[in-house]
C-alpha cells in the first residue's frame, strides 16, 4: 500500500526515529541484537563496472499494473521507477532534487516546471511540455490512485516549449515533493494505448534509464539498458535486468543463497537469520517509513463495532511481536503515522502526542477482554486476510489469532494468492467477506499528511471503512495549506487525536528496508528511497 513534501531534514528525522524506538525495544528473543540507527545503511559502495544481467526478485509478487498513476505497491512502483523518469527525484538520503525538470514556486498558488533540455523517450523523440502536462493530468484523473495529490490543483498547462505551469485553488505544501513520484509518459503513445497502458499487452513509452522489453505474465519482466539515456551520471551498469516474482520466503532465500537470484528488497523477517549467514551475498538494513498494520477492511460486518476495534489495540503485544518475529529489525508502533515521518524541527510536538497513544494502546489483555464484553460481539468469525506464501505474515496472523482467542475472539486466517491480495489493497470487491486485512504501508515522502490523506479522507482508495469526519477534513485542508512547519504540526496533532479514536487501523510495528545483494554486485540503494528512484541503474559489478 502506498501512502506519500519532503522535509529537507528528513534523514535526521528517520535516524532519530530509529534510534529512539530501538532504544525502547529491548533485545529480541534468541539473542539477536536490535538493529540500531548506526546499523542502517542508505547505499552500498558504488559499482565498479558493467554486468550483462541482473536477476532481481519482486518480493511482493507480480505487479498488477505498470500504469504509473496506479503503480503504488512496492513491486509495481519499483519497476516503473526504472523505466519512467520522475519530474523530481530523491537521493539515497531522501533529499529532493531536480530530475527531468527543475521547479520554481513563483507564489503560494503557482508552480513552474522547466523541462531539462535534450531529454528523449526510448524511441528518440523529444520530451515536451505537452508530454509533461499530459502526464500530470493522467495522474490527476479521479480514477487513479495518485489523484488525491492533485486535490488543490486548479490548472495544468504547457506555457512554453519547455515549461509547464501548475496553479492551485489554495496553497499546497505537499505537492512539489510528490513530483518525485510522478513520472512522464509520451502523450501520443499513452493516448493510443488507452486502458491497456501499463499492461503486458499495452506496454509503456518513457524516457528512463531502462527500456521495457517483455512482460511475461506469471513469470518475469525484463528490461534493457537505454544506451541513449539523457543523464550520463545515471547510465545503468547492467545491460539487462530480469524481475522475478517469487513470493515464498523460503524458496526466495534458497534462490538467493544459491546465486540463482542476485538480490531483492523487502525480504520477509522469517528469512533474515538464513540470509545473514549467506556465503553468496550480504543482508543490509536501511532507513524506512514502512510499517505493518491491521486494517479494518469494510464499513459493515462484525468490526463495525468501535469497542471491538479498540479491543484489538489492547490485545496485541507489539513489543513481543517485534522481538519474536522481526529479529531486531522492527520496533513497536502505536499510531498510523510512523515516527519516521515526523519532521525533525517539530519532533517534540509529535513525540508528546505519540506517547499518549503508546500508553493508551499498550498491551493489556484484561482491558481487551473488558472491551470485547462491552461490544456487540457474539462469537462470530472475524476473517483476517494475509498474503499466501508470506511466512512472516502467517506467523503474525497466528499470533493475532492466539491473542484474539485469549481476549474472547474467534479469528479465522484467510490466505490470498499474491495477485489477489495485492488487488485487495485497493479493490473492495477483492475484500468481500474479509473483516481485517494485514498489510504493510509506506510513505514515499516523510510528511504525515500523505498517509492521513490516503486513509482518512472520504472516497480515497485506502479509506476502507468510509471514514468521513468534517472536522478532520477541515483540519487536513488547513494543514495542507500551511507552509509553516510548527503551525502545521499543531494542526496535524489535533487531527490525529480525532481520526485515531475511530481505530480503523491497528498499527503493529515500524520496519526497516531489508535488502540482499549478491557479492558479485554492489551500488544498491538500501534505504526506502530506492522506491522513488531508478534503483537498478546503480547496481553493477563489485570489481573492475
Task: Quote the pLDDT of residue 532.
Answer: 86
For residue 447, CA distances in Å to 122, 178, 245, 286 come to 34, 10, 31, 19
Under 8 Å between Cβ of 117 and 204: no
Distance CA 88, CA 175 (A): 11
According to DSSP, the residues that pair with 112 across neighbouring strands are 104, 165
| Residue 505 belongs to a domain | yes
| Residue 412 belongs to a domain | yes
Largest CA-CA distance found in the chain, in angstroms, rounded: 67
In the chain, how many domains are there? Answer: 1
pLDDT tens track of the chain, all 544 residues? 443 322 222 332 333 333 333 333 333 334 455 566 667 899 999 999 999 999 999 998 999 999 999 998 889 999 999 999 999 987 766 678 899 999 999 999 999 999 999 999 999 999 999 999 999 999 999 989 888 889 999 999 999 999 999 999 999 998 988 888 899 999 999 999 999 999 999 999 999 999 999 999 999 999 999 999 999 989 999 999 999 999 998 999 999 999 999 999 999 888 888 999 999 999 999 988 889 999 999 999 999 999 999 999 999 999 989 888 887 678 899 999 888 778 878 999 999 999 999 999 999 999 999 999 999 999 999 999 999 988 889 999 999 999 999 999 999 999 999 889 989 998 999 999 999 999 988 877 668 898 899 999 999 989 999 999 999 999 999 999 998 999 999 999 999 999 999 999 999 999 889 999 999 999 999 998 899 889 999 999 999 8
| Residue 256 belongs to a domain | no
| Residue 246 belongs to a domain | no
pTM: 0.81
Task: Quote the pLDDT of residue 212.
Answer: 98
Task: Quote the pLDDT of residue 34.
Answer: 59
Q: Would you list the DSSP string of 343-398?
A: -GGGHHHHHHHHHHHHHHTS--HHHHHHHHHHSS--S-EEEEEEETT-HHHHHHHH
Range of the domain at 29: 10-34+289-510
Task: Quote the pLDDT of residue 139.
Answer: 95
Distance CA 236, CA 537 (A): 4
| Residue 471 belongs to a domain | yes
Under 8 Å between Cβ of 46 and 541: no
What is the Cα gyration radius of the chain? 22
Task: Quote the pLDDT of residue 214.
Answer: 96
| Residue 54 belongs to a domain | no
| Residue 352 belongs to a domain | yes
E strand or H helix that includes residue 220: strand 220-225
CATH code at position 446? 3.10.105.10
| Residue 515 belongs to a domain | no
Amino acid at each position: 500500500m502506498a501512502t506519500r513534501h519532503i522535509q529537507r531534514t528528513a534523514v535526521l528525522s528517520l535516524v532519530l526515529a530509529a534510534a529512539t524506538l530501538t532504544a525502547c525495544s529491548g533485545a529480541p528473543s534468541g539473542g539477536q541484537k536490535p538493529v540500531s540507527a548506526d546499523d542502517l545503511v542508505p547505499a552500498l559502495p558504488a559499482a565498479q563496472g558493467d554486468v550483462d544481467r541482473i536477476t532481481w526478485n519482486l518480493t511482493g509478487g507480480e505487479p498488477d499494473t505498470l500504469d504509473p498513476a496506479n503503480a503504488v505497491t512496492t513491486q509495481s512502483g519499483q519497476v516503473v521507477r526504472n523505466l519512467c523518469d520522475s519530474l523530481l527525484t530523491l537521493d539515497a538520503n531522501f533529499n529532493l532534487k531536480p530530475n527531468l525538470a527543475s521547479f520554481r514556486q513563483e507564489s503560494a498558488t503557482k508552480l513552474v516546471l522547466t523541462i531539462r533540455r535534450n531529454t528523449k523517450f526510448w524511441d528518440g523523440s523529444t520530451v515536451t511540455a505537452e508530454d509533461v502536462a499530459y502526464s500530470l493530468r493522467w495522474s490527476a484523473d479521479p480514477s487513479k490512485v495518485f489523484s488525491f495529490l492533485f486535490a488543490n490543483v486548479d490548472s495544468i498547462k504547457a506555457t512554453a516549449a519547455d515549461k509547464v505551469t501548475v496553479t492551485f485553488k489554495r496553497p499546497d505544501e505537499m505537492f512539489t515533493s510528490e513530483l518525485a513520484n510522478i513520472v512522464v509518459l509520451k502523450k501520443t503513445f499513452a493516448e493510443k494505448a488507452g486502458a491497456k497502458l501499463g499492461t503486458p499487452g499495452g506496454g509503456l513509452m518513457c524516457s528512463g534509464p531502462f527500456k521495457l522489453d517483455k512482460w511475461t505474465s506469471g513469470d518475469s519482466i525484463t528490461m534493457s539498458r537505454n544506451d541513449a539515456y539523457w543523464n550520463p551520471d545515471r547510465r545503468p551498469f547492467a545491460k539487462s535486468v530480469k524481475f522475478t516474482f517469487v513470493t515464498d520466503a523460503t524458496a526466495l532465500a534458497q534462490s538467493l543463497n544459491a546465486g540463482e537470484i542476485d538480490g531483492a528488497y523487502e525480504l520477509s523477517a522469517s528469512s533474515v537469520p538464513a540470509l545473514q549467514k549467506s556465503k553468496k551475498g550480504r543482508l543490509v538494513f536501511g532507513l524506512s517509513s514502512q510499517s505493518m498494520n491491521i486494517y479494518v477492511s469494510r464499513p459493515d460486518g462484525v468490526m463495525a463495532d468501535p469497542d471491538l476495534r479498540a479491543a484489538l489495540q489492547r490485545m496485541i503485544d507489539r513489543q513481543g511481536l517485534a522481538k519474536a518475529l522481526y529479529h531486531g529489525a522492527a520496533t513497536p508502533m502505536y499510531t498510523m503515522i510512523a515516527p519516521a515521518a515526523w519532521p525533525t524541527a517539530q519532533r517534540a510536538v509529535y513525540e508528546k502526542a505519540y506517547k499518549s497513544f503508546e500508553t493508551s494502546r499498550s498491551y493489556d489483555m484484561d482491558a481487551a477482554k473488558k472491551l470485547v464484553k462491552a461490544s456487540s460481539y457474539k462469537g462470530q468469525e472475524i476473517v483476517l486476510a494475509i498474503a499466501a506464501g508470506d511466512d512472516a505474515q502467517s506467523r503474525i496472523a497466528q499470533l493475532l489469532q492466539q491473542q484474539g482467542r485469549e481476549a474472547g475472539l474467534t479469528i479465522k486466517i484467510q490466505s490470498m494468492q499474491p495477485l489477489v491480495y495485492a488487488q485487495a489493497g485497493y479493490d473492495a470487491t477483492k475484500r468481500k467477506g474479509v473483516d481485517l486485512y494485514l498489510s504493510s504501508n509506506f510513505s514515499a515522502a516523510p510528511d504525515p499528511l500523505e498517509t492521513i490523506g490516503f486513509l482518512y479522507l472520504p472516497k480515497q482508495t485506502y479509506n476502507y471503512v468510509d471514514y468521513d469526519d468534517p472536522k478532520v477534513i477541515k483540519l487536513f485542508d488547513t494543514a495542507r495549506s500551511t507552509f509553516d512547519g510548527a503551525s502545521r504540526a499543531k494542526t496535524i496533532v489535533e487531527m490525529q487525536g480525532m481520526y485515531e479514536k475511530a481505530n480503523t487501523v491497528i498499527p503493529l510495528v515500524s520496519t526497516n528496508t531489508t535488502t540482499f545483494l549478491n557479492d558479485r554486485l554492489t551500488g544498491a540503494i538500501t534505504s526506502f528511497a530506492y522506491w522513488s528512484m531508478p534503483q537498478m541503474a546503480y547496481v553493477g559489478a563489485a570489481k573492475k
